[in-house]
Every structure is written in structure tokens, then in C-alpha cells.
Chain A
Amino acid sequence: MRRLSLLFLYLCMPQLKRFGSKIIRNTKKMGQKRFLLMSILFFSIFPTATLIAETPQEPVTLETVVVTAGKLEETFQTGDVDREQTPAVFSVIKREEFEAKMENLSEVIEKEAGIQVRQTGGLGSFSTVSLRGASSDQVMIFMDGILLNDGSGGGVNLSNISLSDVEAIEIYRGTTPINFGKASIGGVVNIRTLRSQKGLNVSASAGYGSFNTRTLAGFVNHKPDRWDYLISAGYLSSDNDFTFLNDNGTEWNKEDDSWEKRNNAQFDQRNILTKVGFDFTNDLRIDLVNQWFSKDQGLPSWNNNKETKARLDTDRNITTLRLAANDIGPYHFNTSTRFNFLCKEEEYDDRQGHIGLGIQHTKYITTRHGANFFLEWLTETNTLNLMLDMQKERYDPENMLGSSTPEESIRNMFSVGLQDNLLLFEGRLIVTPAVRYTSIDDELKSGMTWLGATLEGTSRHEDYITPQIGMRYHPLDWFILKTNVAKYVREPSFFELFGDRGFFLGNTDLKAEEGVNFDAGFEIKWFMANDLVRRFSCNVAYFRSDVDNLITRAYDSRGIGKSVNISEAHIEGIEAEINVDFLKYFRLSGNATWQDPKNRSQIKAFNGKKLSGRFEKAYFGRIEAQYETFKMYIEKIIEKGMYYDTANLLKAKDKEEVNAGISWLFQSLLFSLEAKNLGDNQYEDFNGYPLPGRSYFFSLRYSL
């Protein structure tokens, strides 16, 4: 009978693999191999148990197996970062950690070590990210390898990235693998969207919560044979009419304070991801992808004026054609070739003049054509990577009200990168030198300032060479040492080079910010076969960044601004992370970041002060308990020591936020209830922009 069960197991192997997602334990770090092992064990045990039951023997108690909803397998494509070999310090946040939750990208990544997110309001409001004290301009955000930062500057608004079609979020701090066409001082956040999986996968979710927040999302992925398709759609909206204390602009006069609902902060956004792919062979595949995102957002005024109707509407579409060809030629090259077109349109409407300086109705259009080629050559002793990337970007503002004052800006960028992973001592030591060469050509066409002065057309050309080297040493199975040194630049944006209609002058003499990053740290991963502590992992890293030619805004006697290179930054700190699975049902996660982001400025009032907008200390702690299909958690986020201003005169209130949640998995349905900011504390990441207080959300997810 045992032989029969094993034979049965062998015959069922393909089916097991296909339907394995139905029989899986809902754990965080379950990999494909472990899943398969569990399935094998299950099917091995089951016939054996049956057999045993047929014969009068001692009763056997089976281990509890929890049946949960499906989990997407993690896939690897040519061009992805090989996380087993990279020396970069990174984090990966997988879909199951945020799926069907009422969270945006900012709220998900802010719980990672070394990461700071600042928002101007509730869900959907403008938000930026800082890695290891770097500014948002210095952090590159990619979506499936396509850069979302644009030449106009200001960083990427994280609220314009929907989580409904995201498979994983990769965060590379300090050092950027050569796989990414552009690197910068702060690091990289790469949003990986859903990828086609074998078989049929369906998921749908809905949620509702405070401030009339509503969400609907779903995807279907089918890969019956060589071709496959994936369609994902999402909708998220909120009135954001949270209650806050309005001081009427008079901080020292409490008599005119009033509790009010936030006005004109509502938003709604929609996104659709469509992917079609075809496997010509096992080594040749083509993908056509289209990502569409649209958001309409109200902009509240500083004094919460009920009459304010200002709006910012954003539409973005990215179309990508990708060809992956592996095992080419005698050297077995793996290649990925990608062509993409990005179009982003932002329409700012303030025809009442409630937000900006006077009445405005302006459209900002960014279009970008890009091409990327990635080659990988694997040998026994090394992995050589070659990257070529080209982009042509046009930024075109359009005045919807009066006569057109075109100030079109164009940026052509070409990058080539080379990286080698040298595998030494049987792969225990990996040394990864790399270098990037980037060439940028910027052009501004002529226009006119707001005072009627003529803006002459101008152009500039810059070349940058940015080397980096990293080392990863794995002396023991549970212990990894990493260290990296890298030089990066952040080129000036169109806004900094060419100004904005005269209230802000351009400065074509600006030099790029240049930073040298260093980090060193270790990772420990222990798995123990006892109920007291089942898993223990710990990461600690020291980091340091020295940035020259820091681009700072300065204003002259009449209030006209200009970007100048008059500062330097010196940032160093420690980030630490710990995860412990203990007492069979509990998980403790936590991280801490201490950083000292110092400003070294030619301006006496700024020199030696902390860079504005960066915390000094941040802590995150979460305890999770899971019993069969129930899970509950409570977490706390603390941020301290931030100043709103560069002279460190305006200290921000320390932030403390407690969140909690409970979920129940019933067959293919997952019910979740979350409470955020249980302390109902009022904070402002940006001075004068209150964040919501206590809120509650309920969501339901169905997966097939």
C-alpha cells in the first residue's frame, strides 16, 4: 500500500503542482520548494494514514494543516536582480502583506528600516519617500524597471502608484544594482507588478472604511499553454473628510480654534493593468504590457476654506514591449530587450486662486520614449551583466487660461552599465564591481517670465561616471556579511535648471549633486526546530553618505528663488531589523533607524543643522498572533527628531502611531478589520498639512 501511495504521489505530481496553491500554509516566507515539500508530505501521509486506518493499529494524530487562499508564486525573469548574489542591502515586501488592506504604498514601505515617508494628508494625498536620509529627488522609483521619476523634478508622488496590481516591492538602499537604468544617491524602490502565473488565478477584493473610503480590486491571470494574459483593475476613493483642529492660522490664539472636517481633500483613482505574453520557446518570450492610472484629487487650502475647489488630476499610461531571449549563442547569454512609452498628464486647476499665487489652470504633460537592453552571462565563476538604457523625455507645460507661454524642456539620456559578480570560494564570497556611464542632454526652448521678461532658449550637456563595488560574504549558512561603496549623482531637474515662469529663476550652471555611499552590515537567519523559537532573523547595517554640491533653494531680497550649489550633506546612521517566530503562534517584527543627517552649508544659519524633513530616530514594532485561520496584530510606529525647516527653528511634533488589525480566513475568503492611529493623534508631516486621526477599515478578499 505504501508503494501504491508513492506511485499515486508520483502520478499526481503535475496536478499537485498546479493545485498546490489550494493546499498551502499561510506563512510569510513560504517558498516554492517548501510548498512542494508540504504537498508531498501531505499526500504521502494521507494514503499512509488511510492504509493505517484500515488495519487495527494505534491512532495517529495528524499535524494540523490550514487550508488558505491562493498565493502567487514569485517568478524570476531576466533583468531581475538576483537577490541571492547581490551585495546590496534590500527589503522585499510581498503582496500578501498588503493585499486587500486599506493601505497605500506610503503606509506599506514606511514600516521598513531606513525609510521615511511624508504625506500631506489622508489616503491619496501627495507623499514622498526618503531612504537613509536622502531627499525624495535622490530616490529613484521604478515600475517593472521603468523609471517613474521625471525630468521636472520633485521626486515621485507615491500616492499615484496603486497597490492593486503590485506583486512585490523591492527596496535597495544606498547601492543600486546595475539592472536599473538609473541610479541615484538615495537608492531605488522597484514596484513589480503582477506577472502571469501558470494556470488560472483569480482574485477579487472590496473594502470600506472611515471617511467614506472605498476600494474594489481584482485580477485574473490565465496561462493555459504558451500564451497568457493578465488583467488587473483597481478603484480607490475617499472623501478624506477627517476631523482636525483648525487653529485659523493663529497658533497663539486658542479662542478662534475649531474642530472641523477637512474640506476639498477627496480623491478617486482607477488603474488597469493588462499583460499579454507568448512563449515562443522555453527561452524566447514576448510580453506586451499596458499600465493605465488615473486620479482626480481635491486640494485643500491652508485654512480649510469651504469655498476651495482647486483640483489636481493625473493621468498616466505606460506601454511596454519586452522580448526575453535566453541561452543565446555559444556563451549562453540571457537577454532582455524592452521598449516603452510613458505619457503623464497633470492638470492643475485653481481658477479661484485659493492655493497658489493668483488664478491658475495649467496642464503639465510629460512624454518619454525609452529603450533598454540587458544582457547576462553566467559562468561558473561569475555573472557578467551589461545594461544599455536610452530615454527621450519632453516636458511641456500648457497655460489653459491665457496666452500660451511655452517653456518646453527636453532631456535625452543614455546610460551604459557593466557589473560583474565574482563568485569566490565556492560562491561563499561574491565581489561585485560595477560602473555606469550616463550622458544627459537638456534643452529649454525660449519663453517668457511672469513679469514679461524673455527667457532665452538654452541647453546643456553633462557626462557622469559612477563606479560602485560591493562584497557579500556567506561564511556560514545562517550568517551573511555585506559591504558596499558607491558613487552616484543626482542631476538637476528642469525646474532647477530652467526655473518656473520667473518666480523661480533657472540656473544652467548648476552642478549635479555627487554622493559617495558606504554601508556595512550583516544578516542572520536562524531556523530552529522547536516551539519556543522557530525562526530568528536579524539585519544590522551602518550607512554613511557624503553629498557634495547639494542643490538648495535660495531666495533674494524680493522673494525670487533660484537653485544653487551651496551646501553639502553628511548622513550617517544605523538601521536594524529583527523578526522572531516564537511560541508557535506568535511573530515579532521590529526595526529601528538612527540617523544623523547633517547639513554642511555655506549659509551660517544652516551649517551644522539637521537636514529638514528627516527624522533622527525611527522605531517600528509589531506583534502578530496566528491561530489556525485567525490572525491579529498590533504595531507601533515612532518617529522623532524632525525639523520642518533648514535652520532647525520649527521642530515637528514626535510621531507615534498605533495600528491594530484582525483577519479571518474562511476557505477562499479573507475578512480583515483594521484600526489605524488608535491614539487619534494629530500629526503633520509637512507643516500646516494635518494627517487623519483614528480610522477603521473593513475588507474582504476572495481568491481562486
Chain B
Amino acid sequence: MEEKTLFRRINSLILKGLSVCLVFAVLFIVVGPAYASQTAVVATVASDWSSGAHSVIPVDPVGGPRTAANNLLPTISDITVTAYGRYFYRIERYNADNVTKFDVSAPDTPIWQYSTLDQGATTNNPQDLIFVSHEKAYLLRYGATTAWIVNPSATTEADFKIGELDLSSYDDGDGYPEMHSGVIVGNKLFITLQRLTRATWPDPWTTNTSYLAVFDIPTDTEINTGIPNPDGVLGILLPIRNLGAIQYLEANGTIYVQGVGRYGAEYTGGIASVDPGTYATAMVLDDGDDTTHPYGNISGMAIAAPTKGYFIGYAGWGDNTLYSFDPSVVNSPGTAIAGLEHKSIAGMESGVYLDEHDMLWVCNQTDARVDILNTTNDTIDESVSTDLNPQRVVFTTEGSPGSGSGTGGSAGGCFITTISNSPHGATQGAVLFSLLFGICLVACFTWSGSRNKGRRDASLQSMSKEKMRKAGMRTTF
């Protein structure tokens, strides 16, 4: 009898505990952990290219006002930014060749700065940093035949470079394949290769067939995609030329790639889709031809959802327009976004300018500001001045901008931090925390219930005694 009662009690406890945990888990997933808010980091440049800097802008609150910290750590003008976790990285490109790491909580205090130059070279023109983890990333270099494999947590310059990816097979005859951007899907790295022939200056640069090279991340070896191509390389031949942005949309498991062709001279660009599993490609948006090119050249792209995307039409110097379109419909007509027509619009090269609220951050260089677009109704939610012209926007996923000094270093010391560093770390952390909290709560209730039960039993005992006394029964047990 007593064993049965105990088992029922334990069962009941477990059920209660799980219910509580479930409630809290749902709450946390919906609300989100307070420590994982995004911060936008914007690379900025003076309109005469005499200097550059970066700005940090909190993503919240939606609707504004968002306060920007501008002109942080001024430097040369040919810069870009990339971010991972609470850290962002400023890359100084042509004839500067370095990467600087910052913690978003101390956005003007470098944690480290390392050179990205090969011995004996004048410039390798680093373009982008694609992250696998805090300990591994790929540095793409426009003026080199190899991409570096780097450790972003290295504490000395000697430990920064840990390997190379060889892309020399994609050389178009001028010595370089012109690698530009990349994205990671699962265990694969996809790298865009522009392959512009720029051997003889000032003769016009010529476009060539453009490719995505695919690498296996665990082994850092190139994958033979098996896609037929005229150049005998292992990568994916694309139907567009002079590649720019690349983006992976998890919602439909599709990679999108944008190409510009040749500005004002050749309309061989547009937007193409790539299946990361089968490597099949398809045209999504064609920029037209020499006679008909309604948007000009396609100079940027961001895909918000399987049926909602944006691209920039470059009609001329300072005359760009942001259009919305449906990527699920081939050559879906673009709709100009009010307020973002006939402007100078930069960036959108990462393809991921969407923040956690699905707001699209647009670099408006005509007005030296970031226009934050609500993608649900394509209206500008807020415009934030960056003082200099915004060039590119990335988001840190943890921390908040502040004036304190960054801690930097390896992310391996703290359990929560390590968890948070993974793409789904925030959610996993929320569930675990909820579970623990729920168990604690149930334990509290049970303990207090037991005490109450004890008091209740005692009172019941008293009552029973009273009843029994009234009933004339014996009162001692």
C-alpha cells in the first residue's frame, strides 16, 4: 500500500515538473533570452573615400528610436565588416590587408589586429570572413589564389593562419580567380569566384564563366560537384557572371547568388538559385540584355523568405533603386520600394541584412544613413544616420553595444557562452534553463506541499482525534 502510494506520488511529481518546464520553455522560446539581442555593425566610408570607420546600432526597439555610435576607430576607406557571436571583424582590403577583431560591448577597442598578406605580396585584398566556429573561419582574398583558413580566437598573429584552400584551378588567365563571398550550408562551404580577366590595364576587364567552389569543411578539401563545365573545374557553373552576394535561405534550403555582369556594358548578371545538395542551378531573375534591362545591372540581393526577396537595380552612377520581388517565380517583376528609388545604395553583398525582427537594413549612401525596412509592408521603419556613407551591415547575435572594454579571447571558458555561440545555442539554452527551473520549482512546491501535508496531516490527525474523541474512540496512535 505504501509502495503504491509512493509510486503515485513520484509519478505525479514528474508530471507536474514536466508541465511546468514545458510552460517555461515555451515562454523562453517565444520571448527569447534577454542576453542574445542583436546589434548592427555598419562599415562606413567618406563620400570622397578619404577615410572610413564603423558604426554600431542596436536592433531594438522596433519602430525606433535606435541610437547609433558613429565614426568608431577611423581608418582608410576600403573596409568591410563581418560578425560572429558577440564579436565583429573589420577587414581592411586593398593595400591594407588586415583584420581587426572587436567585442560589440567595446566596439572601438581592438582585441587583435592581424595581417592577411602573403610574404612578398603587395596586396591580397581580403574580402570576407566566413565562420564555422569561434576557432575556425575562412578568409577570402580577391588578389590571391588561396583562401586562408584562420583561427579567429588566436592570441598571436603566428597562430592566426591555420591552413589554406587552393582555388588556383579557377584562374581566368590573369593569375587570380577573384574569390569574393561565401556561405556555409551544413558541412559545406560555397565560395563565389568572379573570374574577371584584368591582366592588361587600362584595357577593359572582361567577364568569364563564374563558379561556386564547394569545400568539405571537416576535411577542407574541394568537393567534385560533377557539374559539367567548359573549364574542367570541380565547382558549380553558374548562369550569371561577375558574382556578388550569396545567401542561404534555411526556409527552403536554397542558396541564392547574385551577379552584376559588367556595369553599363554587359547584362549577363541577375540572381540564380543553387541546390546545396544536388548543386542544380536555376535562374531566378535575369537582368535582361543589351537592349532591354529594366532595372539596369543587378548589384545586390537579400532574400527574406521563399516568396519575398529584394534586389538593387543599378541604372547609373548614384541612380540605384531597391526592388522587392518573388524569388519563387522566375523573372518575377520587381516593385520599387518607396523612398529607396534613385539613390546610391551599397552593400547587400552578404545577402543577410535581415535582423531578428525581419527588418531589412539598407545602406543609403545618398543620405548617409541606414534605412530600416519593415519587410511585412515594405515601409521604412526608421532611418538612422551613420554620418559617413554606410557600406555593409552585419549583426552580432549577443552582447550589447557599450563603452566597456571587451574580454575577447577564446569562447571555451564558459559553458553558457559556448552554447550560445552555436546558431541554435540561444534556443538550446532556453530549454535547458527552463528544465532546471521547472525541476527546482516542482521541488519547491513538493517540499512546501509536504510541509503543508504534514501540517494538514497533523490537523487531520487532530481532527480525527477530535472526531474520534467525539466518537469515543481511542486517540492515541
Binding site for B on A (CB under 8 A): 248-253, 255-256, 301-303, 305-308, 352-360, 362, 399, 401-403, 405, 448-453, 501, 505, 552-562, 603-606, 612, 644-647, 649-650, 687
- How close is B181's CB to chain A, nearest CB, in angstroms? 15
Known: A305-B121, A650-B74. A357 touches B204 (CB 8 A): no
A405 touches B203 (CB 8 A): yes
A362 touches B263 (CB 8 A): no
- Check: B39 CB closer than 8 A to any chain A CB: no
Using a Cβ cutoff of 8 Å, how many contacts connect chains A and B?
Answer: 179
Cα-based distance from A298 to B47 in the complex (angstroms): 31
B201 touches A646 (CB 8 A): no
B51 touches A405 (CB 8 A): no
Interface residues of B in 31-52 (CB under 8 A from A): 45-51
A647 touches B51 (CB 8 A): yes
Q: Which of A405, A559, A646 contacts B50 (CB 8 A)?
A: A646
Residues of B near A560 (CB, < 8 A) are 263, 317
Known: A302-B95, A556-B318. A401 touches B115 (CB 8 A): no
Name which residue of chain B comes closest to A357, CB basis: B201
Residues of B near A556 (CB, < 8 A) are 317-318, 344, 365
- Among the interface residues A255, A301, A403, A554, which one has the most CB atoms of the partner chain B within 10 A? A554
- Check: B387 CB closer than 8 A to any chain A CB: yes
Residues of B near A403 (CB, < 8 A) are 203
Name which residue of chain B comes closest to A687, CB basis: B76
B265 touches A255 (CB 8 A): no
Interface of A is mostly: loop
Residues of B near A552 (CB, < 8 A) are 48
Cα-based distance from A382 to B317 in the complex (angstroms): 55
B71 touches A308 (CB 8 A): no
Residues of B near A558 (CB, < 8 A) are 263, 299, 314, 346
Binding site for A on B (CB under 8 A): 45-51, 53, 71, 74-76, 92, 95-98, 100, 110, 112-115, 117, 120-123, 156-157, 174, 198-206, 262-266, 299, 314, 317-318, 320, 344-347, 363, 365, 368, 385, 387-388
- How close is A135's CB to chain B, nearest CB, in angstroms? 13
Residues of A near B49 (CB, < 8 A) are 553, 555, 559, 561
B320 touches A255 (CB 8 A): no
B122 touches A354 (CB 8 A): yes
B110 touches A252 (CB 8 A): yes
Known: A354-B122, A399-B200, A555-B45. 16 other contacts (CB 8 A): A249-B97, A251-B75, A253-B112, A253-B115, A305-B122, A307-B122, A355-B122, A358-B174, A401-B201, A403-B203, A554-B47, A557-B320, A647-B46, A647-B50, A647-B74, A649-B51
B48 touches A358 (CB 8 A): no
Name which residue of chain A comes closest to B96, CB basis: A249
- How close is A489's CB to chain B, nearest CB, in angstroms? 22
- How close is A572's CB to chain B, nearest CB, in angstroms? 23
B51 touches A650 (CB 8 A): yes
- How close is B85's CB to chain A, nearest CB, in angstroms? 21
Residues of A near B157 (CB, < 8 A) are 253, 255-256
Residues of A near B100 (CB, < 8 A) are 252
A-B pairs with lowest CB-CB distance, top 6? A649-B74, A645-B51, A402-B200, A452-B204, A645-B50, A557-B346
Residues of A near B299 (CB, < 8 A) are 557-558
Cα-based distance from A126 to B271 in the complex (angstroms): 46
- How close is A23's CB to chain B, nearest CB, in angstroms? 57
- How close is B50's CB to chain A, nearest CB, in angstroms? 4
A358 touches B198 (CB 8 A): yes
Residues of A near B114 (CB, < 8 A) are 250, 253
Known: A251-B113, A252-B113, A603-B368. A399 touches B363 (CB 8 A): no
A557 touches B345 (CB 8 A): yes
Residues of A near B198 (CB, < 8 A) are 357-358
Q: Which of B48, B113, B202 contacts A405 (CB 8 A)?
A: B202
Known: A249-B117, A603-B47, A646-B46. A451 touches B92 (CB 8 A): no
- How close is A177's CB to chain B, nearest CB, in angstroms? 34
Cα-based distance from A274 to B338 in the complex (angstroms): 69
A452 touches B265 (CB 8 A): yes
B117 touches A303 (CB 8 A): yes
Cα-based distance from A337 to B123 in the complex (angstroms): 53
- How close is A650's CB to chain B, nearest CB, in angstroms? 5
Residues of B near A606 (CB, < 8 A) are 46-48
- How close is A413's CB to chain B, nearest CB, in angstroms? 27
Cα-based distance from A649 to B48 in the complex (angstroms): 13
A305 touches B120 (CB 8 A): yes
A-B contact pairs, 15 of them (CB 8 A): A249-B98, A251-B113, A252-B100, A252-B112, A302-B96, A302-B123, A303-B95, A353-B122, A358-B201, A449-B264, A555-B49, A556-B317, A561-B49, A645-B46, A647-B71
Cα-based distance from A501 to B123 in the complex (angstroms): 22
A647 touches B120 (CB 8 A): no
- How close is B111's CB to chain A, nearest CB, in angstroms? 9
A362 touches B113 (CB 8 A): no
- How close is A606's CB to chain B, nearest CB, in angstroms? 8
Residues of A near B365 (CB, < 8 A) are 556-557
A557 touches B363 (CB 8 A): yes
Residues of B near A448 (CB, < 8 A) are 204
A555 touches B120 (CB 8 A): no
Q: Which of A352, A354, A555 contacts B47 (CB 8 A)?
A: A555
- How close is A104's CB to chain B, nearest CB, in angstroms? 27
B202 touches A362 (CB 8 A): yes
A605 touches B47 (CB 8 A): yes
Cα-based distance from A449 to B317 in the complex (angstroms): 14
Name which residue of chain A comes closest to B263, CB basis: A451
Cα-based distance from A612 to B157 in the complex (angstroms): 34
Cα-based distance from A552 to B47 in the complex (angstroms): 10
- Among the interface residues A248, A354, A356, A451, which one has the most CB atoms of the partner chain B within 10 A? A451
Q: Which of B46, B112, B115, B206 contacts A249 (CB 8 A)?
A: B115
Residues of A near B76 (CB, < 8 A) are 687
Cα-based distance from A553 to B51 in the complex (angstroms): 13
Residues of B near A356 (CB, < 8 A) are 201
Cα-based distance from A303 to B97 in the complex (angstroms): 10
A604 touches B387 (CB 8 A): yes
Q: Which of A308, A554, A650 contacts B122 (CB 8 A)?
A: A308
- Among the interface residues B202, B206, B262, B265, which one has the most CB atoms of the partner chain A within 10 A? B202
Cα-based distance from A462 to B96 in the complex (angstroms): 42
Name which residue of chain B comes closest to A307, CB basis: B120
A505 touches B110 (CB 8 A): no
Known: A301-B122, A645-B51, A647-B46. A256 touches B115 (CB 8 A): yes
A555 touches B262 (CB 8 A): no
- How close is A567's CB to chain B, nearest CB, in angstroms? 10
Name which residue of chain A comes closest to B365, CB basis: A557
Residues of A near B204 (CB, < 8 A) are 448-452
A612 touches B50 (CB 8 A): yes
Known: A305-B120, A557-B345. A249 touches B92 (CB 8 A): yes
- How close is B112's CB to chain A, nearest CB, in angstroms? 7
Cα-based distance from A559 to B48 in the complex (angstroms): 10
